[in-house]
Amino acid sequence: MTVETDAEIIERLRERFEVLEDMTRAVKRGKVRALIVSGAPGVGKSHGVEKVLGHHDVFAAIAQDQSLKKYEIVKGAIGALGLYSKLYQYRSEKNVVVLDDCDNIFSDEQSLNILKTCLDTGKKRTVSWNYESYKLKEENVPNRFDFNGGVIFITNVDFDHVRSKKIRSHLEALESRCHFLNLTCHNTREKLLRIKQIVNDGMLNDHTISDKIKTEVVDFICDNHTSLRELSLRTVTKCADLASAMPDKWKAVSRMTLMR
């Protein structure tokens, strides 16, 4: 079995994160219907998607009309009724709903049935809500509509290692309707190399710290990764913030605030 070198892993991760941005553009253009993005928490999954879609905020800001914004990023849990309403709001062609860390939908039958209909491979995707709902009436949302937009799932779930048979069957139903991109950044070695890669690519350029301190921040993360409360890009940013705010004692403060 061939063991990847650090350089090979960094190149693999770089390529996959570039594909993430390419696929996000394809969903936004309506060329790709749906995308599932899987990877460890804190490695930049959301950033890649938000970076691409954020360019479209400019038009809404210039016109001072948020109705021109053709995507929304939903973070955290969402119920079936809320999902139905959100999909209706962004039902038009080239609209996108991003479900970021909304992993509860993978085990919710109603939500999955709505998504399976919206992401079906047929030309016409008509989704229905066959329950009485005052919320839908108040928001003037019909009980039936055609969905022509796109959906992006961002999840920490490693689809290939889910043990629950029930959830596994739900995930397979979604996978059959979506493109699936595994960023392959799940173990400690890959996370540390991803941190090195993205810092070298300019992640900390907006911090008022020298290149020497940037290197020290990365070294600090690598040397102490087993004791950190979280090994992620967020932790890198926190360390850099401390290095900028208190250059003489940022390491000591980092140990107090970021380590177990």
- DSSP class per residue in 227-245: TBS--SHHHHHHHHHHHHH
Average confidence (pLDDT) per 10 residues, the chain, 260 residues = 88 94 94 92 89 75 64 92 95 94 88 91 89 88 95 85 74 88 88 93 91 96 96 95 96 96
Q: Please provide residue 108's backbone torsions phi and psi, each rounded to the nearest 5 degrees.
A: -105, 115
Residues 136 and 235 in one domain: no
Cβ-proximal residues to 197 (8 Å cutoff; 6+ apart), any chain: 10, 13, 14
Claim to verify: residue 174 and residue 80 sit in the same structural domain: yes
Pair of tokens at residue 223: 């040397």
C-alpha to C-alpha distance for 9 and 186, rounded to whole angstroms = 12
The number of angstroms, rounded, from the C-alpha of 32 to the middle of its chain's C-alpha atoms is 17
pLDDT at 220: 97
Pairwise CA distance, residues 108 & 170, whole Å: 9
Any domain includes 1: no
193, 176: one domain = no
Please give the pLDDT value at position 153.
95
Query: Which phi and psi angles does 26 have, rounded to 5°?
Result: -65, -40
Rounded Cα distance between 222 and 18, Å, is 24
Distance between CA atoms of residues 69 and 96, nearest Å: 10
Last residue of a domain, one of 149, 182, 215: 182
DSSP 8-state symbol, 1: -
Only one residue has tokens 């329950």, namely 131
Q: Is residue 137 part of a domain?
A: yes
E-state strands within 7-115: 34-38, 71-75, 96-100
Q: Residues near 247 by Cβ (< 8 Å), separated by ≥ 6? A: 209, 213
Do 53 and 166 lie in one domain? The reply is: yes
Q: Is residue 142 part of a domain?
A: yes
Q: Is residue 44 part of a domain?
A: yes
**Which is nearest to 83 in space by CA: 96, 97, 68?**
97
Q: Which domain holds residue 202?
A: 188-258
Total number of domains in the chain? 2
Query: 108 and 48 in one domain?
Result: yes
- Which pLDDT score, from 0 to 100, does residue 83 have? 95
Q: Is residue 21 part of a domain?
A: yes
Residue 241 lies in a domain: yes
- Domain boundary residue among 151, 182, 213? 182
182, 205, 230: which is the final residue of a domain?
Answer: 182
Residue with tokens 């629950």: 164
Residues 58, 130: one domain? yes
pLDDT of residue 243: 96
Q: For position 167, which CATH number holds? A: 3.40.50
64 and 26 in one domain?
yes
Same domain, 110 and 228: no
